């Protein structure tokens, strides 16, 4: 009886260890991370924005410093199918593309759009790209995480 118990425990132990050694093999493919609508966020006194609808909160200070300005009234944010965040604002000359990681957003690309700065930007989600429209100038730009298309 004792030997049978030891053999059973050994088999169970081997199965458990084998399962743990194989790691997780469950993969969900063709995930669409896109946000159908842009978020228009107002920075707080500490230049932090919080999008409750899409559950993201971050400081815009590094982006403001990169643009050479101290404040904006609103930040525009949208996320594409691949999961990259696109950020811009009125007065910005660029769209910043960030890749999410564990508790950080890493700059993937800085796309130059308007040398004099955007007047009134708006993002639109398209199937293969993000459309940026400057509502003041009427200019439209097709962009993705790699740049202008």
Predicted TM-score of the model (pTM):
0.83
CA distances from residue 86 to 4, 12, 25, 78, 141 in whole angstroms, order as listed: 62, 50, 31, 5, 13
Residues 62-82 have pLDDT tens digits of 999 999 999 999 999 999 999
The three-point CA angle 125-127-129 to 5° equals 65
Residues 81-140 have pLDDT tens digits of 999 999 999 999 999 999 999 999 999 999 999 888 999 999 999 999 999 999 999 999
Q: Going by C-beta distance under 8 Å and a sequence separation of 6 or more, which residues neighbour residue 129?
A: 80, 142, 143, 144, 149
Strands 75-79 and 56-59: what pairing? unpaired
Q: Contact 79/105 with Cβ under 8 angstroms?
A: no
Q: List the chain domain ranges.
A: 39-148
């Amino acid at each position: 009886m004792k030997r049978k118990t030891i053999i059973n425990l050994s088999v169970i132990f081997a199965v458990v260890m084998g399962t743990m050694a194989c790691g997780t093999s469950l993969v969900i493919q063709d995930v669409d991370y896109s946000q159908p609508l842009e978020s228009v966020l107002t920075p707080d006194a500490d230049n932090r924005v919080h999008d409750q609808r899409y559950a993201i909160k971050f400081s815009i200070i590094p982006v403001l410093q990169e643009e050479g300005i101290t404040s904006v009234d609103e930040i525009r944010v949208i996320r594409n199918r691949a999961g990259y965040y696109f950020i811009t604002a009125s007065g910005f000359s660029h769209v910043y593309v960030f890749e999410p990681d564990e508790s950080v957003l890493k700059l993937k690309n800085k796309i130059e759009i308007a040398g004099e700065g955007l007047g009134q930007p708006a993002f639109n989600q398209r199937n293969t790209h993000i459309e940026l429209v400057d509502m003041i100038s009427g200019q439209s730009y097709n962009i993705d995480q790699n740049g202008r298309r």
